[in-house]
Chains A and B, each alone.
Chain A
Amino acid sequence: MSTVSDAGTTGSTRPRRSARAAGVDVLERTGLVLFLIALILWFTIDSTSGDIFTSGANIRQVLSNQSVTGIIALAMVAPLVAGYFDLSVAAIAGMASVTMAALVGTHGYPVWLSIVLTLLVAGIAGGVNGVLVARFKLNAFIVTLGTYTLIGGLLQLYTEGQSIANGIPESFGNWGSLTWLGVPRPFWLLIVAGLVLWYVLTQIPFGRQLESIGSNERGARLVGIRVDRTIFLAFVSSGLLAGVAGVLLTSRAGSADPTAGSAYLFPALAAVFLGATTLRPGKYNVWGTIVGVFVVAVAVNGFTLLGADAWVTPVFNGASLLAAVMISTLFARQRESMARKVLLDGFKREEPADPNTNELER
């Protein structure tokens, strides 16, 4: 992470800090990661859950299970950076899953062609959201809630409520169950998706443009950013990622369930918001999102092993959403009131334009 130039945060610019304030800052940035580690330790040590929790099978299970959630959560990030909700990603993933199964199974297309076509369909679905939001200026939250519901319904219509399982080739159906270097392939896919999105969001101008739009859309327009196009592309990229998640979903299940996609909405939302409380606090970010996914997943997994029932999943999804909002508000206040005052004690008064101030931490 150290090479990520966090141009968007002030934290990286503080040359010297008092111990207390530095503590707050570090805690804020790494709190969620520490929490994840603490959870893992706890479930490992606890004798009821320990053995199973640390078994290879369970770890692989969690890693690959969460990869779909993770990619769907990542799909929400780009529009959110620009200040737009995309609730439809889970439905688009479901649609991609069904499309994939139908193409490869029902119609017998080759796998590679089916993947390409599926991603195309998912990208177009994202594009439709993008047009409605960017071109027609409709409220993104409502538009994507609409497409979420609509797609769900269309899938029911198309599949008549049945799963598509026939004719899916073994090679494709098994891909998601295999491991590479001992780690499930879906997890690798998540990491690759994360890397690509991270690159797009932080290392090319597109990401900065999204960030500007998220900060001040009119201002962005007036510095020449093609706001509509950028938002449109954010939704397309979101659709594409959701498509990847859908293909993975079909591969892992060996079939496509028309209702499977929509269940991912809330876990993904929770992950994205949790992610925004960490690493680059206050900003939606890729690695934070992935950490967020696993915080919820490990908690659910651990408590299930401790004997909790079906209630645990919704409770944790809901609780983490609330916690995410609370944490960011609390810490923002901390920053305002205390950290501001204390942080730069001993920061010698400097000439305004000292270029070195930003380099000290690198």
Chain B
Amino acid sequence: MSGNPAPIPDPSLPSADDAHATSVVHQGRSVLLEIIGLSKRFPGTQALSNVDLRVRRGEIHALCGGNGSGKSTLIKILAGVQQGEPGGMIRVGDESSPADAVTPAFADSAGVRVVHQDLGLFPDLSVAENIALGSSFPRRRSGRIDWRRMRTNAEELIERFEIRASPKTLLRDLNRAIQTEVAIARALQGRESGHGGILILDEPTTALPAAEADALMRSLRRYAQAGQSILYVSHRLDEILRITDRVTVLRDGHLAGVHETADLDEDALTTAILGRSLAHEAAVKHVPVSSAGVPVLQITGLRAGPVRGVDLEVRRGEIVGIAGLLGSGRSTILRSIFGDLDREAGEIRVAGAVLPKGSQSAAISAGVAMVPEDRARDAAFLDLPVAANISASVIARYYAHLRMQDRKMTRDAASLMATFGVKAASPAVPINTLSGGNQQKAILARWLRRDPELLLLDEPTQGVDVGARAEIYRVVRDAADAGTAVLVVTSDVEELAAVVDRAVVLRGGRFVAEIAGSALLPQHLNELIYKDVPHVDSV
């Protein structure tokens, strides 16, 4: 992305100013969290080897590294969810523990508060209950749960964190962004007083669009100023450059360096993470597809949920992006095309043939593929092997000679894993043992192997590291060059500007603008997205 003609140091978020430049690193500040010589081995993977990490008081410290470099593992060990190997040492404030003896109780008493990558929420419980589970349920004197107090606690937090949900809403009825807010509120409750402790956030913004991510950045800055130490994991480099004080980089489980953020720019950070520069490869060409090209996707008058009537054509070989706010209906459009949502009105044609309402299998046999937004809920078979996950879209192809050809399936999966850079011990391990970004790449492989006519991508690079992000778009571009039409939704406007040939802006349920060519700039996109009062429908 750094290869854009005009370098864009400004992360281009409208209200970023106050979050900037406030970071003052006091060199002499004492170290709150200290990890020395931490190692961790999984079957087939050395997730961490001899890693050191120091976080100072009141500092926002970034933990960076490619997919599978061991960030989440380090955090899980810190939280006592997994055990490190003997030899390592962990100290938080005055309390220390050998790395192989950290328990959740130790982590809790030392003040380690974690928002895990998968959020760790309970979909069938309400917002209030989820928040209460983070501490302990408030009790009455008799020992009974004090439901009223639980509700008011939750209400206070909801107000303080500006969460757009009521205490009674069930978690599964909320979208990822709001779920993330709930998880953060849960971790931070009782923390405003800012006594000691460390808040750890593992990729909290993967599912957050710019405005929400920005709000989060500002609150984190505020907490840090109040003395809260924060360990922050993200693949979004702009965030790291903006709010953190220092950066620790992991590469394949090894400590690859510690940097002052002030000394870094996007290129330098990329290089630190990948061990090579992306500058010369990042430039992705925009291909102006002739308007005479064959339309693969034709939408007319689509209405569904927040979408109030849109028309769109995507031609062979073209990559089109949909820009818009959270809740503007971007995913609704993709899901309606794929038959995952019943549209209220409108016609959808793929390669000339009308798609029936609400039928994924019709869409799939017409050559449509979709990588959904919520991987765990809608895409991954978490307890099944990587091979089964990658083969799920083509399972019938492996039935030959009266039986399933499992060896062939495994072999093909292995070669796809190589192509897509999926890092795993073997194709036969369950996919939930892979790091988040590697799971995402496996899901992409599942669909791209079908050579779809139309590829729908909903936040395809969430949780994917900078290197792999470029790789993914290269693969997508290759597919487009081979004739696939691609429709992509991403909240990262820079990414959008860099990879699509044409973008449409969805606002108030309609496409309000279409831009292509040299007008395709992040600032311009942002202006269009945020124009007027943002029309935010929840969900």
- Most chain A beta-carbon neighbours within 10 Å: one of B43, B377, B422, B428: B43
Given contacts A223-B392, A350-B425, A355-B414, contact A10 B378 (CB under 8 A): no
Question: How many angstroms between the C-alpha atoms of A351 and B45 in the bound complex?
Answer: 10
Tally A-B pairs: CB < 8 A. 142
Taking CB atoms, residues of chain B closer than 8 Å to A314 are: none
A349/B46 in contact, CB under 8 A = yes
Chain A's closest residue to B43 (CB) is A344
Chain B's closest residue to A8 (CB) is B384
Q: What band does the interface of chain A fall in when counting residues whose beta carbon is under 8 Å from B?
A: 35 or more
Question: How many angstroms between the C-alpha atoms of A9 and B422 in the bound complex?
Answer: 20
B360/A222 in contact, CB under 8 A = yes
Tell me, yes or no, whether B122 is within 8 Å of chain A by CB. Answer: no
B429/A13 in contact, CB under 8 A = yes
A204/B399 in contact, CB under 8 A = yes
Taking CB atoms, residues of chain B closer than 8 Å to A205 are: 395-396, 398-399, 404
- Of residues 332 through 358 on chain A, the ones whose CB sits less than 8 Å from some CB of chain B are 340-341, 343-344, 347, 349-355, 357-358
Taking CB atoms, residues of chain A closer than 8 Å to B65 are: none
- Most chain A beta-carbon neighbours within 10 Å: one of B403, B410, B426: B426
A208/B395 in contact, CB under 8 A = yes
Chain B's closest residue to A203 (CB) is B403
A218/B407 in contact, CB under 8 A = no
Tell me, yes or no, whether B340 is within 8 Å of chain A by CB. Answer: yes
B379/A353 in contact, CB under 8 A = no
A7/B383 in contact, CB under 8 A = no
Chain A's closest residue to B40 (CB) is A341
Chief secondary structure at chain B's binding surface: mixed
A8/B388 in contact, CB under 8 A = yes
Taking CB atoms, residues of chain B closer than 8 Å to A8 are: 384-385, 388
Tell me, yes or no, whether A202 is within 8 Å of chain B by CB. Answer: yes
Tell me, yes or no, whether A215 is within 8 Å of chain B by CB. Answer: yes
Separation in Å of the B19 CB from the closest CB of chain A?
Answer: 37
A358/B427 in contact, CB under 8 A = yes
Tell me, yes or no, whether A212 is within 8 Å of chain B by CB. Answer: yes
B361/A218 in contact, CB under 8 A = no
Taking CB atoms, residues of chain A closer than 8 Å to B399 are: 204-205
- Of residues 394 through 422 on chain B, the ones whose CB sits less than 8 Å from some CB of chain A are 395-396, 398-399, 402-404, 406-407, 409-411, 414-418, 421-422
Chain B's closest residue to A343 (CB) is B43
Number of interface residues of B (CB under 8 A): 56
Separation in Å of the A127 CB from the closest CB of chain B?
Answer: 21
- Of residues 31 through 65 on chain B, the ones whose CB sits less than 8 Å from some CB of chain A are 41-46
B418/A216 in contact, CB under 8 A = no
Chain A's closest residue to B411 (CB) is A355
A222/B372 in contact, CB under 8 A = yes
Chain B's closest residue to A202 (CB) is B404
Given contacts A205-B399, A347-B44, contact A353 B417 (CB under 8 A): yes
B425/A355 in contact, CB under 8 A = no
Taking CB atoms, residues of chain B closer than 8 Å to A350 are: 44, 425-426
Top 10 A-B pairs ranked by shortest CB distance?
Answer: A5-B406, A13-B428, A344-B43, A357-B426, A224-B364, A355-B414, A353-B417, A353-B418, A215-B381, A203-B403
Please, could you name 12 A-B residue pairs with CB atoms under 8 Å apart, sorted by A?
A202-B404, A205-B404, A212-B388, A212-B395, A216-B379, A219-B381, A340-B42, A341-B83, A351-B418, A352-B422, A355-B411, A357-B425
Binding site for B on A (CB under 8 A): 5, 7-8, 10, 12-14, 202-205, 207-209, 211-212, 215-216, 218-226, 282, 340-341, 343-344, 347, 349-355, 357-359
8 new A-B contacts, CB < 8 A, other than A344-B44, A344-B425, A358-B387, are A203-B403, A205-B398, A216-B380, A222-B378, A223-B364, A341-B83, A347-B43, A357-B427
